[in-house]
Structure 1
Amino acid sequence: MKNLNDEISKITNYRFKNNAILEEALTHPSLNKRNSKNQTENYERLEFLGDSILSMIVSAILFKLFPEEREGALAKRKTDLVCGNTIAKVAKEIKLGDFIIMNNSERCNGGKCNLKNLENSLEALIGAIYIDGGFKNVERFVTQYWKKLAKDMLSPPQDSKTSLQEWTQKNKLPLPEYELAKQTGPAHNPEFTISVCIENYGKVSACASSKKGAEQKAAELMLEKINNGEESNLT
């Protein structure tokens, strides 16, 4: 088997001094490995750290790239750039799934291609680079992939939840109501079903690996339902 540090250094342009923290960043919770203090060694703690570091660095990138934009527009750009789908997209680009360490059951169920696993492991890797090499190294890695994504974003995106809320306000209707319909799957890989209800338009539901993701999908489906209803009224 090729040396993990050698392979990861090719995609991060950073070589870890501490191999243990690199392995921790790439260890899926399905393994439930424990250290001498009986603490679980997987990527969850580093993922928590990496999420905040990524958000900070992306905010700085946007602040410099768009000096004329107000806070609201910058916030919309950041939300899109640090969402699960974008993080997973970068993880797929660098083929990070090939290096995630997991048990046979998770692997056989497509764990190396699972978008949530890719998102979590990349956030953990970001956290690990920060711990092992400091801010300059992790900033260099994040900038390498996210600056181009930021430059390619011609205008601030409008997320589905915001669009749906603005539509209800424009039409003098009560604000959308989101409700957790059910949660399934194991703790390390859950699936949430969220429903959203709009007066006169009923309820729609959507599933995702996070509550925020499911809410966005439900809002998107509701907007489609509203648009289809309005088109039907015109014919």
Structure 2
Amino acid sequence: MINPEFLDWITTLTGKVPRDERLYIRAVTHGSFGDDDYQRLEFLGDRVLGVTIATQLYHQFPNEPEGKLSQRLNGLVSGKVCGEIASEIGFSDHLLLGKQARDDGARQSNKVLGDVMESLIGALYLDHGSDAAKQFVLKYWGDRISGMAKDIRHPKSALQEWAAAHNRKMPVYELIEKSGPHHDLRFTVKVSVNKVGAVEASATSKQTAETEAAKLFLEKHT
């Protein structure tokens, strides 16, 4: 039986009364809970999120070249940002998880929350169409789009430029550790610049860990 409080939460969150309630149940169902999980909706929602943000960036930053728009887009649709937004709006309380996933901390997993955020966008798109999904995305991503700094160089690019400007060898990235359960892997990466220093950072993907390490290096050594 579908919990009416959950449907009320969905209505408040999206501004739309669910037509196909099963879509929203599926959107919060983890694979550990049942076979009819959120992965297919996540696949769809990821694409809807991407084109919505890309379109908004195209119009909001009319003078920027493709490269800078891509940097903005990659940051805004990252799993980290999706997970942060999902946490802010209370997704953790509504996830349907199996016992093992609950014991492993999936309810607080930024990766799981990010995936579910995308799956909800997919469910809303199927249930109410592209306009509803677009309005939902812009409502919860709008401040992040508007508040983006003008200097949007990727931290890895900025670190590489700094090293070149100071006659240093290029930064070297090394995967130090990969740990955690399958649904919430953690990658620890070390970045080092010869004769300057080294910094480590952890994240839910190797690429993000490298980015965080570069950012920390710049903060510490420049």
TM-score by length of 2: 0.86
2:84 partner letter: K
Matched residues, percent identical? 35
**1:156 Cα deviation (Å)?**
4.3
Residues 106 and 184, structure 2, Cα contact 8 Å, conserved in 1: no
**1:154 Cα deviation (Å)?**
4.6
Distance (Å, rounded) in 1 between the aligned partners of 2:91 and 2:39: 16
**1:26 Cα deviation (Å)?**
0.6
SS in 2 for 1:178: strand
1:48/1:14 CA distance change after superposition, 3 Å: same
**1:122 Cα deviation (Å)?**
0.3
Instruction: Give the structure 2 partner of residue 38 of structure 1.
Output: none
Instruction: Give the structure 2 partner of residue 230 of structure 1.
Output: none
Residues 73 and 156, structure 1, Cα contact 8 Å, conserved in 2: no
Instruction: Give the structure 2 partner of residue 6 of structure 1.
Output: 8
Residues 176 and 197, structure 1, Cα contact 8 Å, conserved in 2: yes
**1:209 Cα deviation (Å)?**
1.4
**1:132 Cα deviation (Å)?**
2.9
2:146 partner letter: K
**1:225 Cα deviation (Å)?**
4.1
Residues 29 and 188, structure 1, Cα contact 8 Å, conserved in 2: no
Which of 92, 98, 104 in structure 2 is aligned with 1:97? 92
Distance (Å, rounded) in 1 between the aligned partners of 2:44 and 2:166: 41
Instruction: Give the structure 2 partner of residue 119 of structure 1.
Output: 114
User: Could you report, residue by residue, the CA deviation over 1:127-184 in whole angstroms, capped at 9, with x for unpaired residues?
Assistant: 2222333322211211222223212235243332221122122234333232323322
Instruction: Give the structure 2 partner of residue 233 of structure 1.
Output: none
1:205/1:74 CA distance change after superposition, 3 Å: same
SS in 1 for 2:174: strand
**1:58 Cα deviation (Å)?**
0.6
SS in 1 for 2:32: helix
1:63 paired with 2:62, answer: no
Q: Which runs of 5+ in 1 are unaligned?
A: 35-40, 228-235
**1:114 Cα deviation (Å)?**
2.6
SS in 2 for 1:112: helix
2:82 partner letter: I
Alignment of 1:119-158 (within 5 A): 119-158=114-153
Distance (Å, rounded) in 2 between the aligned partners of 1:13 and 1:24: 19
Alignment of 1:1-235 (within 5 A): 1-31=3-33, 33-34=34-35, 41-108=36-103, 110-227=105-222
Distance (Å, rounded) in 1 between the aligned partners of 2:171 and 2:201: 15
SS in 1 for 2:122: helix
Distance (Å, rounded) in 1 between the aligned partners of 2:43 and 2:190: 27
